Amino acid sequence: MRDPDGLLARAGVRGNPDRDQHFLIDDRVLDRLPDYLDDADASHLLEIGAGTGALTDRLLAVADQVTVVERDPKLAAFLREEFDEEIAAGDLTVIEGDALDADLPDFSASVSNLPYGVSSEIAFRLLPEGKPLVLMFQKEFAERMAAGAGTDDYGRLSVTAQHYADVEVVETVPKEAFSPPPEVQSAVVRTTPRAPDYEVDDEAFFLDFVKAIFTQRRKTLRNAIRNTAHISGLDDADAVVDAVDEELLRRRPGTLEPSEFAELAVLAGEHGFERGEAG
């Protein structure tokens, strides 16, 4: 396997915190990341933010094909040079561009050390694809993704992520595993795609409704529904409140399971709009 420090030296770059660049250089962590895929299909792995290719090298060892997306032109050029044989053999494709805008391939799974500044946006571009993901996040963000109802970390992020997949934190990664060390600890999240155990008529409205309600997480659900109609787009919040069970209305948003939010969203769609439907 290529040495992470050697790759940095050959690339002639240093991580730049101001540009959200923290290169993962711990061999042990790098070696473990592909293993978290377990039995997932590794035929075509996608890596977002390939940097100097330390993780790319390890993905090539387990995948039939790897596609990497790198937004830094200098790093993308280095990857094309460093991995020219793998590219020539058709094993590796380098896409230079922003992962939020680039056309992504039909990948089987993704293993990525995400740029923290856009990790949320990238995660929620990948999650709806319904593919297994092994992603590195800031530890606080990772714990919020995996949190269960009734815990302090549970919120909009938890409900939204768990709408698409089972989410688990599989490893905490110390600051020293990166060059330069970030200010916070990191964590590896594994998501296993599955259909939710509930149904919603309008997924976009469901996610917007959850977002709106959690802006009032310290309020009762009754007040949260009424106070956020301008965010959720409801025409008649009072009609929604009238349709919801009184016991539920006295609870706080952070105590509701995703399935309960789904039931609420369905009621909101039936009663909260002039035409009887969301949107």
* Strand 186-193 versus strand 133-138 pairing type: antiparallel
Q: Does 113 carry a binding-site annotation?
A: yes
Name which of 248, 252, 244 is nearest 154 in CA terms. Answer: 252
Q: Does 236 carry a binding-site annotation?
A: no
Q: Does 22 carry a binding-site annotation?
A: yes
Cα 31-116-172 angle, rounded to 5 deg: 45
Q: Does 98 carry a binding-site annotation?
A: yes
Checking 177-181 for CB contacts under 8 A at 24+ apart, the result is 177/24, 177/25, 177/26, 177/29, 178/15, 178/22, 178/23, 178/24, 178/25, 178/26, 179/8, 179/14, 179/15, 179/22, 179/23, 179/25, 180/14, 180/15, 180/17, 180/22, 181/22
Buried b (16+ CB within 10 A) or exposed e, 66-92: bbbbbbbeebbebbeebbeebeeeeeb
Name which of 245, 251, 243, 246 is nearest 273 in CA terms. Answer: 243
Q: Does 163 carry a binding-site annotation?
A: no
Provide the edge-to-edge strand list for the sheet that holds 186-193: 92-96, 65-70, 44-48, 109-113, 133-138, 186-193, 165-173
Query: Which residues does residue 95 pair with via DSSP β-bridges, in sequence order?
Result: 69
Binding site, residues?
Answer: 22, 24, 49, 70, 98, 113
Binding residues for S-adenosyl-L-methionine: 22, 24, 49, 70, 98, 113
